[in-house]
Amino acid sequence: MPIKPSSAPVNPQTLALAVLGWVLECEDRGARYLELTGLDPDSLRAGLNDPMILASGIEFLANYEPDLIRAAEALAVTPEELVAAKDALQA
């Protein structure tokens, strides 16, 4: 299901939360994300209002282009929109 109409801009926080959902829906990918970020499920939940935690999911995908492309397709956005959301969150 797309998270935006085709011409509407996407809120970076909303997109980052959708990315985290996509990352965590696959057990292996989710475990890899938690391992690489050093987060555990409790710290991830506690940090969902922290822009840097939100950006970490997109950063994780940006480091492996095939997943970045798959996530963008699943969320009906472009990879560039994902990276722009990460950049906005890290600004």
pLDDT tens profile 2-54: 555 555 667 999 999 999 999 999 999 999 999 999 999 999 999 999 999 99
CA distances from 75 to 24, 72, 81 (A): 14, 5, 11
CA distances from 80 to 5, 18, 39, 84, 91 (A): 17, 15, 25, 6, 16
Q: Do 62 and 86 touch, CB atoms closer than 8 A? A: yes
- Within 8 A by CB and 6+ apart from 79, the residues are 65, 68, 69, 72
Note the pLDDT of residue 10. 78
pLDDT tier for residue 1 given thresholds of 50, 70 and 90: very low
Tell me the pTM: 0.87
Note the pLDDT of residue 2. 53
Q: Do 89 and 15 touch, CB atoms closer than 8 A? A: no
